[in-house]
Amino acid sequence: MNRTILALLTETVALPAAASAQETIQYWMWDGQQAPVYQQCAAAFEAANPEIKIEITQNGWDQYWTALTTAMISGDAPDVFVNHVTRLPEMSANEVIVDLAPLIEEAGYDTSGYMPGLLDNWSRDGATYGLPKDWATVALGVDTEKLEAAGLSLADLADLNWNPEDGGTYQQTIAKLTLDGSGKRGDEAGFDGGSVETFGLVLNPLSLGGETEWSYLAASTGWQFIAEPWATAYNFDDPRVAAALGWLRDLGRVHHFTPTVEQTGKLGAETLMFSDKGAMTIVGSWLIGLYSQSKPTVAYVPVPAGPEGRKSMFNGLADSIWSGSDAPEAAWKWVQFLGSDDCQSIVAEAGVVFPAQADQVERTVAAYQARGIDVSAFTAVATPETTFPFPVTDYGNEIDAIISAALDRVMLGAGEPAEVLTEANEQVNSLF
């Protein structure tokens, strides 16, 4: 009897010891729509790796970066976190993220399956600071109810063209979709730009990368931010980008087809579309799910083709490992799983974003189609010929501040675009 009791006590004591041997990996992300999907990936990973537990924390974009910075300073950051390429220069310079290149080589990890260019965005001088998790392009999101009310169809918008002189058929369409308080459209006599009820095009506040605002236009003229990744000179003094931004400024300040900075402040395009203030906007593919829930009347057509063809920024998130992680081996194991088909196929079938692995694109398209969403406008431009990367260089924060201020001046009409941007470009290039 005593031996039986002793045995039971021994077993009871042994259980917590076994549990404590399990390593916990903290994984942070900001996208609320993706968090439940990655919880499925975590469950699959834990089933195959019972010695590792994944704890996922999701915070909104602004809170996410504030919390992450604070956690890194205090030494309590997550082992693995979703990273954005805009944060790469500072994080790599401060050595708060792990160089994965030696780990990739040691593990023989196959990176050839990623969409072209994705891994390059996270590499510098032989170092790799994240494994790609998804990719994104942009398309023109159109409220089909407003489109029909204007006597147009999606077919009419399937092959729009644009130029910085008169805006091409893109501007004509924007004008037709703009409606004033008396029911006059932007292309009709008597249109009152002072009483617009629905703007033909609404945009997010302009940013350095201009992903969903302006860079698709500037790039369609042949303009480039920089000559190559990690370059030491920007090209904001190029007259082509000035012309593109001048056209965008005049679309609001002269023609009243898009709201001015004074009218919208910091309101985003989604807020304006969801409140029926806009007929069209530029949508990043990561927002397809949000639009399907909040504004299901929105459908997608390709962005307009400019003088040098149709262009979209090609961006993608990555999973990075904090250099202060207490469980680097388990963290690397989790990062490898996140980038593998085992997890990426789960993401594809959920239809929330396009996974980084090229062989998952068709599965993702099918998932969207099953929900009645045509995403061909996004996939059609996901080629090396029709895309351009986000400009990644040193001094990212300083450059962001300089260019953002210049873009504000342009959109406020406080100076000619060419002069404002040339001055800003000189400030930027003097940093190197």
The alpha helices in 371-416, defined as continuous H runs, are 376-379, 396-411
> Could you tell me where the beta strands, DSSP code E, fall in 265-340?
280-284, 298-301, 312-313, 318-321
Query: Is the dihedral angle over the CA atoms 135, 344, 330, 43 positive or is it negative?
Result: positive
Tens-place pLDDT, residues 315-327: 999 999 999 999 9
| The listed CATH number (1.20.1330.10, 3.30.930.10, 3.40.190.10, 3.30.200.20) that belongs to domain 23-133+316-357 | 3.40.190.10
Contact assessment for residue 377 and residue 300, using Cβ atoms and an 8 Å cutoff = yes
Assign a CATH topology to domain 137-314+390-430.
D-Maltodextrin-Binding Protein; domain 2 (3.40.190)
pLDDT at res. 264: 87
Per-residue model confidence (pLDDT) at position 15 = 33
Q: Find, among 137, 131, 101, the residue nearest to 119 by Cα.
A: 131
Q: Report which secondary-structure segment, H or E, holds 104.
A: helix 101-107
What is the pLDDT, as a whole number, of residue 135? 98
Q: Report helix angle 396-411 to 417-429, nearest 10.
A: 170
List pLDDT tens digits, range 305-349: 999 999 999 999 999 999 999 999 999 999 999 999 999 999 999
Spell out, as residue ranges, where the chain has pLDDT lower than 50: 1-20
CA-wise closest residue to 394 among 82, 86, 84, 62: 86
What is the reported pLDDT for 8? 29
Residue the block writes with tokens 């969801």: 274
The reported pTM is 0.92
CB 167 within 8 A of CB 174: yes
The rounded distance, in Å, linking the Cα atoms of 146 and 153 is 10
Question: One fold for both 23-133+316-357 and 137-314+390-430?
Answer: yes
Angle between helices 239-253 and 396-411 (to 10 degrees): 50
Q: Which residues is 29 bridged to in the sheet?
A: 58
What SS3 state is found at 74?
helix
Q: What is the dihedral of CA 146, 147, 149, 152, to 10 degrees?
A: 170
State the number of CA atoms in the 13 A half-sphere of 47 facing the CB: 8
Secondary element (H or E) of residue 341: helix 341-350
Domain spans of the chain? 23-133+316-357, 137-314+390-430
Query: Residue 82 in contact with residue 133, Cβ under 8 Å?
Result: yes
Of 131, 108, 104, give the one whose Cα is nearest residue 118. Answer: 131
Which residue's entry shows tokens 């780990």? 103
Asked if 318 and 132 count as a contact pair (C-beta separation under 8 A), the reply is yes
Cα separation, 270 vs 204, in Å, equals 8
Distances, alpha carbon 325 to alpha carbons 90, 157, 194, in Å: 18, 50, 56
